[in-house]
Amino acid sequence: MTQTYDVIIIGAGIIGCSTAFHLSKQGLKVALLEKEDIGAGSTGRSSAIVRQHYSNTLTAQMALHSMRIFHNFEEAVGGDSGFTQTGFLVFSAAEDQAGLEANIALQRGVGINTELVSTEGLADIFPNIKRDDLMMAAYESEGGYADPHLTTTAYANAARRHGTQVFLDTHVTNIRFEKDKVVGVETTKENFDAPQVLNCAGPWGARVAKMAGIEVPIKSCRVQVTLFRRPPTLTAHPVVVDFIHASYFRSETGNLTLCGLVDPEEANAVVDPDNYDENVELAFVADVGERVIERYPMMEQCENIGGYAGLYAITPDWHPIVDELPAGSGCFICTGFSGHGFKLAPAVGVMAADMLTGASAPEFDAHLFRFSRYAEDDLVRGQYAYSIAG
Ligand SMILES: Cc1cc2nc3c(=O)[nH]c(=O)nc-3n(C[C@H](O)[C@H](O)[C@H](O)COP(=O)(O)OP(=O)(O)OC[C@H]3O[C@@H](n4cnc5c(N)ncnc54)[C@H](O)[C@@H]3O)c2cc1C
């Protein structure tokens, strides 16, 4: 039996679920197809840091929009995102100081509540942090982290309330075309018909694009995270992105601190998304532990409790591809978010829904993320050395 929809979305990660919500809210009949379970891909392992420190006007605007949704999630989406406001700090090297200042000016220009703080001011925000190699820091009091499972499930449930039908354990095996127009998909369960199909398959995004005959430069890359248990004397702390030590750390429930790297080299850890080592390596724990202790020496009192590996879907400029591919076919792509996709997802859902409905005045113009930028050598670049952060 074949079922007919307005739109088929492939992948129920945070991007697919947010887009399903926005499309079905506008009355479109949406089928959301997922080969495993909601959040089974990158999303379920996301560190889920929510911040607005971006260095392009568009991405800063999207981060601002998304931050507002996280602060107002129950009303805007419904349900709980687990958002915890801890504040967010960025540390960068002296040579990046001018860039940091310009970045803060850009963010303030789009309405983001962010500021530069002196090393003295930093002591009030995060006592006991090592400051001797810093000139100043960027601080967003509104930043924090969310729970990726809660958030994605809440989006899926909100989409369902608006009529989206979610099909789990439903692996899309082919995209069907007639006369260069998409007409539906084949899956391991049944066929689905629709004049529009949206690829939100994250690290599997290149494989799904190939079903439409398109090669996209999206690599599936393994990234690791490790967790430390703090003694009761060390309370929750702000999120820190430390470009000097190429690392990040944030509080986690249960008096834990979650740590990872901010390292362009992660793009070299290309793996098969269906078959990779999901454990954390001891060498990674030791390396990241040292970097975090360098910044926050009291972390030496913490006990490591292991970690895990997940996947980034990395493009050559660490920004997504949001486009219709092939042009005019009704087959769309919205994936390749590298380490950014969680926090931007509320705005991405709006952007993707506007693209599919052909909105005349889209809230966020997807042109920056067009596929042709790679052939045109017009990649999305931040204005600063630490541009992999967006
Ligand atoms: C360790 C780690 C830390 C991160 N930290 C942050 C952070 O702090 N802040 C932030 O903003 N971002 C962070 N990210 C990035 C962010 O999590 C991702 O960008 C985001 O989750 C991507 O969502 P997605 O929906 O595009 O992809 P995914 O969550 O991977 O969803 C794609 C879905 O498609 C399904 N699928 C694939 N192929 C098919 C098929 N053929 N048929 C049916 N279904 C299919 C998959 O099973 C999967 O569920 C992190 C990621 C990782 C791994």
For residue 295, pLDDT over 70 is answered with yes
Q: Locate 197 and state its tokens.
A: 């199909």
To test ligand 1's pocket by mutation, which of 43, 274, 288 has the most ligand atoms within 8 angstroms of CB? Answer: 43
Residues 261-279: what's their mean pLDDT? 94
Residue nearest to atom 5 of ligand 1 (CA): 47
What pLDDT score does 387 carry? 63
Q: Tell me the average pLDDT across 39-46.
A: 98
In angstroms, the CA 87 to CA 103 distance is: 18
For residue 322 and ligand 1, the question of a CB distance below 6 A is answered with no
pLDDT, average across residues 261-283: 95
| Per-residue pLDDT tens over the stretch 344-389 | 999 999 999 999 999 999 999 999 999 999 999 999 987 666 666 7
Q: Whose CA is nearest to atom 3 of ligand 1?
A: 46
Q: Give the domains, in start order, of the chain with CATH numbers.
A: 2-45+149-218+317-389 (3.50.50.60), 85-142+219-314 (3.30.9.10)
Contact 208, 201 (CB under 8 A): yes
- pLDDT > 70 in the chain, percent: 98
pLDDT, tens digit (0-9, with 9 covering 90-100), for 87-131: 999 999 888 888 899 999 999 999 999 999 999 999 999 999 999
pTM higher than 0.85, yes or no? yes
Q: What is the pLDDT of residue 390?
A: 74
204 CB near ligand 1 (under 6 Å): yes
Q: Which pLDDT score, from 0 to 100, does residue 9 have?
A: 99
**CA distances (Å), origin 89, targets 83, 92, 106, 147, 262:** 17, 10, 17, 19, 14
Question: Ligand 1: does its nearest atom lie under 6 Å from the Cβ of 352?
Answer: no
What is the CB neighbour count within 10 angstroms for residue 36?
14
Top mutation candidate among 50, 197, 342, 351 for ligand 1, by most atoms within 8 Å of CB:
342
Distance CA 336, CA 313 (A): 5
- Nearest residue (by CA) to ligand 1, atom 51, is 46
Residues 163-189 pLDDT 10s = 999 999 999 999 999 999 999 999 999
Full strand arrangement of the beta sheet holding 191-193 = 2-4, 191-193, 181-187, 172-178
Confirm or reject: Cβ of 312 under 6 Å from ligand 1: yes
- Residue-wise burial string across 141-177, b where 16 or more C-beta atoms lie within 10 A, e elsewhere: ebbbbbbbbbbbbbbbbbbbebebbbbeebebeebbb
